Amino acid sequence: MFNPALVNRFRQLETPFYYYDLELLKATLKACADASFRHHFLVHYAMKANFNPRVLDTIQSFGFGADCVSGNEVLAAISHGFKKEKVVFAGVGKSDKEINLALDQDIFCFNAESVQELDVIDQLASAKNKTANIAIRINPNVDAHTHHFITTGLEENKFGINTWELPAVAEKLRQCQNLNFLGIHFHVGSQINDLSVFQNLCLKVNEMQAWFQGQGFEVKVLNVGGGLGIDYFLPDKNSIVDFESYFQVFKDFLQINPNQEVHFELGRALVAQCASLISKVLYVKNGLKKNFLILDAGMTELIRPMLYQAYHQIENLSKSGSQEVRESESLGDGKVESQAPSTINHKPSTHYDVVGPICESTDCFRTDVELPESQRGDLIAIRSAGAYGEVMASGYNLRDRVQAVYSEE
Ligand code: LLP
């Protein structure tokens, strides 16, 4: 990803910044578009993963819809050219202001997450003399086998409507004059590399659509959410997700009736690999038991390692040929082994705890990282940071807002 000319360019810039490889983003979007169009599947980009303006413009240009979780995301999607009739609005806690805004924008569909929310949308739509399209987000109680902080489809999670509440939902849908039932929606979690999770989800979706049909409802839309994972261990080898295999699972296991639309809400799989957080070594601290590389980026720029114990590959760009690689390859089925990586380089290497400058002990990207001997001023890349990176940056410690730099400049 980083040739010498690019590293030279980085040297002229103030760090830290997110570097976006827009060519890789486009290649990823094309792979996803090709694989989904083949089955007539419709993909909404989950904007929460990254709403950087250049990223949004690029994704929109491929014709994807937008999956939004706030009123501001709805407005941003539309102002970046996403078609209103391709905007869906999810979230367990939509405020009245946000619902009104989405009604005014005539978006495609609300993914409703509680019986009470149905009442509120109905009342607000009635006041505007409008009808709101509704998909019912069902909590399918399917285990995503991912980190518990990013699991959403279990009964213990706050998301969606549990199956025992569905009779009340059906009753409410019959009563509410200003709601138009479109279909059912699911999302079981994020960073899912085991495709059998999606297979299990399909079986649940089939069961649920049969239930609604049995109640006399026409189910026009099956929205199966997002969650497809990426390879954080081998970002160069597996820079683009195997979208073909992913969509094939739904083709094989979902019962799709004629004229029914199948919708997806992918975030991470579209944007994660296209960005790296580029930072500089401020200080090298050698302790008795540990050596620290203190970077000018920290949890204020990328919080995933601190919040979810997430693994990101770390490279010293100032030492050529010093790329971290995993000793074992990714498994063929998309699962990755959690074995520690080693470093291929011809220079002496050292183990470092790679940390940020923030006044919190948890401000550590990774411990015991094998890197070539590093020094003040070296450029460090933290890879696969395009999803839930820049958008989760904060102003804690009154830090400067992290900048973005693009390949096309
Ligand atoms: N649809 C719904 C309803 C969601 O809640 C999410 C993500 C998505 C789609 C997109 O999921 P994706 O395809 O990106 O996995 N900040 C965490 C991830 C939180 C995911 C929240 N919901 C992280 O950095 O891992």
235-267 per-position pLDDT tens digit:
999 999 999 999 999 999 999 999 999 999 999
Homologous superfamily assigned to 22-272: Alanine racemase (3.20.20.10)
Atom of ligand 1 nearest to the CA of 192: 15
Instruction: Please answer whether residues 267 and 277 qualify as being in contact, where contact means their C-beta atoms are separated by less than 8 angstroms.
Output: no
Q: Which CATH class is domain 4-17+273-406?
A: mainly beta
Ligand 1 centre from 267 Cα, in Å? 6
Residue nearest to atom 6 of ligand 1 (CA): 226
Q: Which residue has the tokens 């009635």?
A: 126
User: Residue 217's Cα: distance from chain center in Å?
Assistant: 32
Q: Which residue has the tokens 């690029």?
A: 58
Q: Please name the residue ranges forming H helices in 128-265.
A: 166-175, 196-214, 243-253
Residue nearest to atom 7 of ligand 1 (CA): 190
Residue ranges lining ligand 1, Cβ < 6 Å: 46, 49, 67, 90, 150, 152, 187, 190-191, 225-228, 265-269, 304, 308, 387-388
For residue 325, name the pLDDT band (cuts at 50, 70, 90).
very low
Would you state the pLDDT for residue 1?
79
Tell me the whole-structure pTM to 2 decimals.
0.93
Among the residue ranges 223-232, 343-352, 391-400, the one predicted with the least confidence is 343-352
pLDDT beyond 70 at 125: yes
Query: Tell me, what amino acid is at 144?
Result: A
Which residues have a Cβ under 8 Å from the Cβ of 278 and sit 6 or more positions away?
A: 10, 13, 15, 16, 17, 18, 19, 317, 379, 380, 381, 382, 405
Domains 4-17+273-406 and 22-272 share a fold: no
Distance of alpha carbon 26 from alpha carbon 55, whole angstroms? 10
Would you state the pLDDT for residue 323?
53
Compute the 3-state secondary structure of the chain and give helix, strand, coil in percent, each to the nearest 5: 35, 25, 40
Ligand 1 centre from 150 Cα, in Å? 7
Ligand 1 centre from 229 Cα, in Å? 10
At 156, is the secondary structure helix, strand, or coil?
coil
pLDDT beyond 60 at 13: yes
At 126, is the secondary structure helix, strand, or coil?
helix
Distance of alpha carbon 82 from alpha carbon 56, whole angstroms? 9
Retrieve residue 270's tokens. Answer: 């579209």
Query: Tell me, what amino acid is at 269?
Result: A
Average pLDDT, the chain: 92
Retrieve residue 269's tokens. Answer: 């799989």
Report the residue among 64, 190, 277, 299 best suited for mutation to probe ligand 1: largest number of ligand atoms under 8 A from its CB: 190
Average pLDDT over residues 369-376: 96
The domain spans of the chain are 4-17+273-406, 22-272
Ligand 1 centre from 146 Cα, in Å? 12
pLDDT beyond 90 at 70: yes
Instruction: Please answer whether residues 255 and 211 qualify as being in contact, where contact means their C-beta atoms are separated by less than 8 angstroms.
Output: no
Residue nearest to atom 19 of ligand 1 (CA): 150
pLDDT beyond 90 at 151: no
pLDDT beyond 90 at 159: no
